[in-house]
Chains A and B, each alone.
Chain A
């Protein structure tokens, strides 16, 4: 199992602030996915990055894949209460059972008005 370390584990900020969540591993991944999960719901896929150095933007969210494809970051600009949720990164790699995702422990974000 390839471990993914996410930081910070918890984050509580005021509306309008910026934040960055980090996802790090010692292993190389073929792809990396970011999900957001709200209470009582399943994870929703935000983005998939596959190329080292790739940057993708989704409105106020900016995702970056490290050059060596071992790490990734999620930056949120001007956070809003609707951004509250659990953010999960997941690295994809070919394993014994086929292509599998390894999940980080998640970052729980609370944005207060």
Chain B
């Protein structure tokens, strides 16, 4: 499986500011994903990021609010823009791993609190 790291692990931010979360993988992967997990909730997919193409966003999420970069096969960033307290969540990146069956492996998450 892949080893995935995220930075920062946690942050406390002021309303109206932006935060960029980094996701680094120790292997080259085609597909990377960004999820949001609100307090006490399950995971909601924000977008899928392929290297070399625009991210594909799920319903309810837009590029202006959550811009994503995918400059190479081992790295991606998610920016949470113009934050409000409703953006307080855990943000998780994951990677697709194909070893004959499809699986996803997750990073440790970034815990964001917006004041």
Contacts and interface: CB of A to CB of B under 8 A. Distances in A.
Interface of A: 30-31, 33, 35, 40-45, 48, 50, 88, 90, 92, 97-101, 103-106
A109 B4 CA distance: 26
A50 B92 contact: no
Given A40-B111, A98-B48, A45 B41 contact: no
Interface residues of B, number: 22
B30 to A, nearest CB: 9
Interface in B2-45: 4, 31, 41-45
Q: What is the interface of chain A mostly: helix, strand, loop, or mixed?
A: strand
A101 B109 CA distance: 18
B102 A31 contact: yes
A95 B26 CA distance: 27
Contact of B109 (A42, A88, A105): A42
Contacts of B43: 43, 88, 90, 103
Contact of A99 (B92, B102, B108, B111): B102
Interface in B57-115: 92, 96, 101-109, 111
Interface of B: 1, 4, 31, 41-45, 48, 56, 92, 96, 101-109, 111
Given A42-B107, A44-B106, A45-B1, A99 B101 contact: no
A48 B1 CA distance: 13
B103 A33 contact: yes
A45 B103 contact: yes
Given A44-B106, A45-B105, A48-B101, A99 B1 contact: no
Given A42-B107, A103-B44, 19 more contacts: A31-B101, A31-B103, A35-B106, A40-B111, A43-B43, A44-B106, A45-B1, A45-B104, A50-B101, A88-B42, A90-B43, A92-B102, A98-B48, A99-B31, A100-B45, A100-B48, A101-B104, A103-B43, A105-B41
